[in-house]
A and B are shown apart, each in its own frame.
Chain A
């Protein structure tokens, strides 16, 4: 059998590219929504996806997921992933509880920025503050076994 010289290249997308692809999909799938609402949804889904890429544990039997449900009265985004450690999950749950117990998300977002300005590592979970203050979503978090579930909801007028 004669084998010809063949050169084939395969480029594998980075996990970060998946986050971009999700944003692009949202832009197409929800193009009918009010642009301001679409911006808020895109920010929320994107930040939850970024968190999964950055912090989720690899788990082939339970792939991470993000589910988006839009009704005339509510937008609901649910992310689920296996956690790397209970300590890691606790950081998320504590952050969400801090946000839920504060009555001014903008002031809290500003406070979290000030607190983070001296840090130089990933892990400040700034995205949750941004989801609450900028996108206007209410957050809930729960650890079910080794699965972290985060729900972001926004009521529509």
Chain B
């Protein structure tokens, strides 16, 4: 569960005493990320129940449109299982700002999810 690697996408899950950090790195450009990435993220969300989770996209350099839905599925699953979810994006990258502005709108009704620029 701790690591995911597909092409140029790397996801790590690091658990500490206080919280869990899920870090996305590289490029997420799979044709159908719901085939492999989706099940992995579902498993991560399931295992992170009752934890404080920080999901950071600050080191993600590219994300195709097909990636958006697995991310939102993941965050929605986390919102149900985790105590608190913080989503971080880079506020000096315009593509991340505009992408996560939309994702924040979608997540607005998920009470324990906050989307913040870093």
**Interface size in chain B (residues, C-beta < 8 A):** 23
A130 to B62, CA, bound (A): 13
Given contacts A39-B94, A126-B69, A135-B95, contact A47 B102 (CB under 8 A): no
Contact residues in B for A135 (Cβ distance below 8 Å): 95
Q: Decide if B32 is an interface residue (CB 8 Å cutoff).
A: yes
A7 to B64, CA, bound (A): 38
Are the CB atoms of A50 and B64 closer together than 8 Å? Answer: yes
Q: Classify chain A: how many residues form its interface, as a range.
A: 20 to 34
Are the CB atoms of B64 and A47 closer together than 8 Å? Answer: yes
Q: Decide if B68 is an interface residue (CB 8 Å cutoff).
A: yes
Q: Quick one: which of B62, B69, B73, B101 contacts A42, CB cutoff 8 A?
A: B62
Are the CB atoms of B93 and A36 closer together than 8 Å? Answer: yes
Tell me the chain A residues, 99-138 only, with Cβ under 8 Å from chain B: 106-107, 109-110, 113-114, 116-117, 120, 122, 124, 126-127, 129-130, 133-136
Contact residues in A for B68 (Cβ distance below 8 Å): 113, 126, 130
A113 to B75, CA, bound (A): 13
Are the CB atoms of B76 and A113 closer together than 8 Å? Answer: no
Given known contacts A36-B93, A130-B65, what 11 new A-B pairs fall within 8 Å (CB)? A19-B29, A43-B62, A46-B29, A54-B31, A107-B102, A110-B105, A117-B76, A124-B69, A126-B68, A126-B69, A127-B65
